[in-house]
Amino acid sequence: MLIIADKGYVSRELDHFLAERGVRLIRPSYRNRTPHPGEPLLKAVRQLIESVNDTLKGQLDLEQHGGRTIEGVGVRIAQRLLALTAAIWHNRATGQPVTRSLTAYDH
C-alpha cells in the first residue's frame, strides 16, 4: 500500500508504525533533508487533488451540501463525486481539451 501525504506527517513513530505493516509513505521532504524516492511526482499529484477539490467546492457546491445527518452528508458527497467522475469520463470519451471542466453542464 502507498500513502501520499503532506509534509506535516513527519514522525519516526509514524514511519515505524507504517513500515511494520508494509505501508509506504511518500511526503515532501523538508529543505534540510534528503529528498525521498518518488518525491518529484508529488507536485503533479497535489495539483490534481487541489484541482478536483476546487471543482467540488466551486462548481458542485460541496461546501453548501444541505445534508442534515451524517448519512445525508455522505449521500450528498457521493452524488457530487459521481457527477464529477461521470463528467470526467464523458469529457475524455468525447476528446474535450479540459477533462475536469463542468462548464458545459452548468445550466
Say yes or no to pLDDT of 26 above 90.
no
Task: Please report which confidence band the pLDDT of residue 91 belongs to, taking 50, 70 and 90 as the band edges.
Answer: confident
Q: How far apart are CA 28 and CA 33, in angstroms?
A: 10
Q: What is the pLDDT of residue 70?
A: 81
Q: How far apart are CA 46 and CA 6, in angstroms?
A: 9
SS3 of 9, please? coil
Q: What is the pLDDT of residue 17?
A: 93
What is the share, in percent, of the chain residues with pLDDT greater than 90?
9
pTM of the model: 0.51
Interval 26-31 mean pLDDT = 78
Q: What is the pLDDT of residue 106?
A: 64
CB atoms under 10 Å from CB of 4, counted, come to 16
pLDDT tens, residue by residue, 7-25:
777 788 988 999 999 998 8
